[in-house]
Amino acid sequence: MAQQEDVFKKIVSHCKEYGFVFPSSDIYDGLGAVYDYGQNGVELKNNIKQYWWQSMVLLHENIVGIDAAIFMHPTTWKASGHVDAFNDPLIDNRDSKKRYRADVLIEEQMAKYEDKIQKEIEKAQKRFGDSFDEAKFRATNERVLENQKKYDDLHHRFQEVMNAEGGIDLDGLKQIILDEGIVCPISGTRNWTDVRQFNLMFKTEMGSTADGASTIYLRPETAQGIFVNYLNVQKTGRMKLPFGIAQIGKAFRNEIVARQFIFRMREFEQMEMQFFIQPGTELDWFQKWKAYRMKWHQNLGFGAENYRFHDHDKLAHYANAATDIEFRMPFGFKEVEGIHSRTNFDLSQHAKYSGKKIEYFDPDTNESYTPYVIETSIGVDRMFLSIMCHSYEEQLLPDGQTRTVLHLPAALAPVKLAVFPLTKKDGMPEKAQEIINDLRFHFNCKYEEKDQIGKRYRRMDAIGCPYCVTVDQQTLEDNTVTLRDRDTMEQKRVAISDLRGIIEDKVSITSLLKKLL
């Protein structure tokens, strides 16, 4: 674990050193849980967004996009339930003065029991090899059974407390923390305060006080911008159910615990899609969207073993089914995306609060009804982090040297091709520029002439550039260059005229999208 934490620290420094992510207002020592994306980060982030947008909007005839404003009428948040219920239960440790989410402390305790079970299984797997029967081992091994019971008991109690009548049972949460002997990771003590509710929405004011300024909120999710536009889009787009509306945009949450770099931010970006359907079909669509979203993630080639679904114990006030897609980060399996069956809660609430009729007239059945909704909601920044974590490698090379390389999926890499003149003379720089001038319309290219070629390769490996081309003496004679592959480090001689075809196939988002069909 300690080793994994070290790796995570290295990834964070790498992000800063190579222009991916900087602390916000860095010269003023940063601002808690707010970050800026640098010259390479913004490219990677844009590519992630493009991959998502195109897979949703381009590949689905019945999904369209919108871009709603961050500021919304304040009644929106009353109707959605956020003013009354968008709370996290917080608890303080009196000795360290550190604040935690009480539910997260308990979830981490459950994860510890799961880890112990997993370790026993892995040990036994090694010992027994091919003859290992996991189901039998789980049913009979004493240590596994003991930890499974602890997990099940805690899980059961946690569910009861989180789903208590009238909202979360705050005293019950504290009692679990005390009974489980959960200590503050900083002070190591159990000197806990009571658990309190904390609303996560940021408030600000619109208009001057003289006009009677009104309190408005920075949106804590992009979804409500879609719900309030349901009628506009359905009517102007003449959309027939089932159909979806997709949106990418900023969201803001005054998170209690803001650690782990860009995993939990106070200003972040979401990619959300609301899929409007006929009531009664929601569980079927829920399964379909679960499968499609998992496919989208696994399509990046990070290995199926690094993903899992985590079904929710506590359903949000609007949901009748919910799951998370979790990815194996260096600090454990963590949520990257949520898929929720939100019933007709949001549309009904907006109808109630606005006094407008928000329904769908079904021409097939001649009936009007309020559509149900399946939502897929993914954080751009968490996706970015999962890609960084999985791609980062400190590789020991056969000659004893090491290199730091980002094995980014080529289609998402910030720079696709670097072109180097071997030396700064004999027309090589001009030839290199010529190649770039030709290819820059097709993908992001970079020119580098400083330092030896080896150093230039290392710099490109560190930003995950999949291809490097070197222009040398021979190029001037026969219009061929050496093409070097980031992952294998293999170099081959190719004609300049073939470069576009070879590279484009590997780096285009289109090839990634084709694999989704």
β-pairing, 467-471 vs 480-485, is antiparallel
The least CB distance from residue 80 to ligand ATP, in Å, is 12
Element (H, E) at 402: strand 402-406
In sequence order, the 6+-apart residues with CB closer than 8 A to the CB of 440 are: none
The least CB distance from residue 46 to ligand ATP, in Å, is 17
For ligand ATP, the closer of residues 249 and 338 by Cβ is 338
For ligand ATP, the closer of residues 296 and 443 by Cβ is 296
The least CB distance from residue 57 to ligand ATP, in Å, is 19
For ligand ATP, the closer of residues 8 and 457 by Cβ is 8
What beta strand segments (E) does 188-253 contain? Answer: 196-199, 203-206, 214-217, 243-252
Dihedral sign, Cα of residue 442, residue 446, residue 449, residue 451:
negative
Rounded Cα distance, 407 and 18, in Å: 15
For ligand ATP, the closer of residues 340 and 484 by Cβ is 340
β-pairing, 63-65 vs 243-252, is parallel
The least CB distance from residue 439 to ligand ATP, in Å, is 34
The least CB distance from residue 265 to ligand ATP, in Å, is 4
For ligand ATP, the closer of residues 255 and 362 by Cβ is 255
User: Looking up tokens 């260059």, which residue turns up?
Assistant: 481
For ligand ATP, the closer of residues 272 and 448 by Cβ is 272
DSSP assignment of 127-172 equals HHGGG--HHHHHHH-HHHHHHHHHHHHHHHHHHHHHT-TTS--HHH
Instruction: Supply angle C-alpha 40, 517, 301, rounded to 5.
Output: 45
User: Looking up tokens 């004893």, which residue turns up?
Assistant: 400
The least CB distance from residue 339 to ligand ATP, in Å, is 9
DSSP assignment of 164-199 equals -TTS--HHHHHHHHHHTT---TTT----B---EEEE
The least CB distance from residue 270 to ligand ATP, in Å, is 5
The least CB distance from residue 471 to ligand ATP, in Å, is 43
Rounded Cα distance, 456 and 432, in Å: 14
Determine the residue with CB nearest ligand ATP. Answer: 379
For ligand ATP, the closer of residues 223 and 405 by Cβ is 223
Type of residue at 147: N
Q: Which residues of the chain form contacts with ligand ATP (CB under 6 A)?
A: 221, 253, 255, 264-265, 268, 270, 335-338, 377-379, 381-382
The least CB distance from residue 264 to ligand ATP, in Å, is 4
Token reading at 340: 């929720």
CA distance to 143, 166, 343, 377, per residue, from 339 (Å): 34, 25, 12, 6
Token reading at 248: 């990418």
Rounded Cα distance, 247 and 65, in Å: 6
Nearest CA to 65 among 239, 195, 181, 212?
Answer: 239
For ligand ATP, the closer of residues 268 and 420 by Cβ is 268
For ligand ATP, the closer of residues 33 and 469 by Cβ is 33
The least CB distance from residue 400 to ligand ATP, in Å, is 40
Token reading at 301: 């080639």
What beta strand segments (E) does 422-462 contain? Answer: 445-447
DSSP assignment of 318-330 equals T-SEEEEEEEEET
Other C-beta atoms closer than 10 Å to the C-beta of 493 total: 12
Dihedral sign, Cα of residue 119, residue 123, residue 126, residue 131:
negative
For ligand ATP, the closer of residues 338 and 421 by Cβ is 338
For ligand ATP, the closer of residues 346 and 381 by Cβ is 381
User: Looking up tokens 């994306």, which residue turns up?
Assistant: 37
Largest CA distance in the chain: 81
For ligand ATP, the closer of residues 268 and 457 by Cβ is 268
DSSP state at residue 20: S
The least CB distance from residue 70 to ligand ATP, in Å, is 15
β-pairing, 35-37 vs 63-65, is unpaired
β-pairing, 196-199 vs 87-92, is antiparallel
Backbone angles phi, psi at 406, to 5 degrees: -105, 110
The least CB distance from residue 456 to ligand ATP, in Å, is 35
Residues 456 and 450: beta-carbon distance below 8 Å: yes
The least CB distance from residue 167 to ligand ATP, in Å, is 17
For ligand ATP, the closer of residues 271 and 460 by Cβ is 271
